[in-house]
Amino acid sequence: MNKKYILFFLFGLLSITISAQSLAEAKALYEKGEYEEAKPAFKKLVKTQPGNGNYNLWYGVCCLETGEPAEALKHLESAVKRRVPSGQLYLARAYNDLYRFEEAIETYETYISDLRKRKRSTEEAEQLLEKSKSNLRMLKGVEEVCFIDSFVVDKEKFLDAYKISPESGKLFMYDTYFNDSGKEGGTVYETELGNKLYYSEMQPDSTLSILSRNKLLDKWSDGSLLPGSINEAMNADYPYVLTDGITIYYASDGPGSMGGYDIFVTRYNTNTDSYLMPENVGMPFNSPYNDYMYVIDEFNDLGWFASDRYQPEGKVCIYVFIPNSSKQVYNYEGMDPDKMISLAQLHSIKDTWTDTDAVEAARERLRTAANAKPRTTKKHDFQFIIDDHSTYYQLDDFRSPQAKALYGKYNQLEQSYKQLQEKLEDMRSEYSRANKQEKDKMSAAILDLEQRVRQLSTEMEQTAIQVRNLEKQATK
């Protein structure tokens, strides 16, 4: 009897020792931020002691940090009930990730109140509170969009899945387009005519910014940062410009993001030579995960974007949708909350199919786009519009010898104009970085150059009119 008791005691002591070692190892991993590795040990500990507040907190945080907010929720709620320090912060984050923003706001406010009572800093919590408030506003304005397809692809080759029309331009990875630049970047967008680039490139502060280049005859201009607030966030990447030439979509992980990269839109203001304040495109396009590479193929009437929401490492989901001509939103007040959240999270694209005929027509357009053969493009010497019906690409296209000769003058004016315009852009960029004394010195030169550019522009326009009139007379 005594022997059995001793063996039982020794076995129990050994179990406690092993458990203590497992806890110590798990805590060490947890403190190093290795949540995936620490999670199995905390899961076992919670199972054996479900009432332990610390175990619930640690396991809940591990789940939250590894993309399982639903699993984390009940354990974080248990930790908060047992008044485990910092439990409220993580619980609010879980509510936020589950789109339960009102509960996230309430929890953050309680947490901030407790911090103030203990005379602790509330800065981080207040920033997260504002983000949840912003997210709630987005949830109340979820765009009603019809998604016709989605497919998971390798993240490294995700651009291969975009089947957009030649009229919508071309997309490249930075390393593919600038294969010998020695620099790093994200993606590149080239316009249909191949005369302008928008791309992201790593800057000296190790953040990505969006730049543009113009084609000057047979070479590209140097890259220049887009003006305005586009590049003021942490990272700006994945640019795409509509055929109007002024509307740009891009992704950023700055303060206005729900989490990770969010998709933003802005427009170029010709009066200020800058871009308007960017707007977050909202839900369902954006999420607490990474959402990017938003493209509107106006020729095929199809939209595309990529997201790593609900995807394993190295994978990304491509969503294809029918673009709205104007934004339409769901009735937040009149819809079941769970249904609203499901639509915002894009849990099922079939839930967006309110018009089956429109879905089938769009899917047929998608099939046609996917099966389209790459267009072979003829190399043009130039592009000169005569009228609504005629565009010339070579000197031999001219029938009037006088128009042909005068076009030579126009071409020289155009070269001079582009060179001066590029120089003016460089001077303006340098001016924006200069101090007051340097600006005073540069002002006169910039004003003089602006006048020369305007004069050249007027002369070019007048010469172009003369070329067209001479050619039209010869073709009557």
Q: What is the dihedral of CA 171, 177, 178, 180, to 10 degrees?
A: 160
pLDDT tens for the chain, 476 residues long, are 455 554 444 444 334 433 445 788 889 999 999 999 999 999 999 999 999 999 999 999 999 999 899 999 999 999 999 999 889 999 999 999 999 999 999 999 999 999 999 999 999 999 999 999 999 999 999 999 999 999 999 999 999 999 999 999 999 999 999 987 788 999 999 998 888 999 999 999 999 999 999 887 667 888 999 988 899 878 999 999 998 889 999 999 988 899 899 999 999 887 888 899 999 999 999 999 999 999 999 999 999 999 999 898 899 999 999 999 889 999 999 999 999 999 999 999 999 999 999 999 999 999 999 988 765 555 567 888 888 778 888 888 899 999 999 998 998 888 888 888 888 888 887 888 888 888 888 888 888 888 988 999 999 999 999 999 999 888 87
Q: Where are the domains of the chain?
A: 2-139, 146-371, 384-474
**Structural contact between residues 128 and 92, judged by C-beta atoms closer than 8 angstroms:** yes
Nearest-Å Rg of the Cα atoms of the chain is: 30
Distance CA 319, CA 150 (A): 4
Helices 123-139 + 337-345 axis angle, to 10: 100
Here the tokens at position 426 are: 């460089």
**Structural contact between residues 95 and 108, judged by C-beta atoms closer than 8 angstroms:** no
For the residues of 106-152, what is the DSSP string, one character each?
A: HHHHHHHHHHHHTT---HHHHHHHHHHHHHHHHHTT-B--EEEEEEE
Residues 6+ apart with CB under 8 A from 95: 73, 101, 103, 104, 107, 132
**Superfamily in which the 2-139 domain is placed by CATH:** Tetratricopeptide repeat domain (1.25.40.10)
Specify the amino acid at residue 267: R
pTM value?
Answer: 0.73
Distance CA 192, CA 274 (A): 23
Instruction: Report the candidate in 278, 194, 285, 296 with the shortest Cα–Cα distance to residue 231.
Output: 278
Give the E-state strand segments of 327-417 in sequence order: 384-385, 391-392
Distances in Å between the Cα of 430 and the Cα atoms of 267, 294, 412, 420 are 23, 32, 27, 15
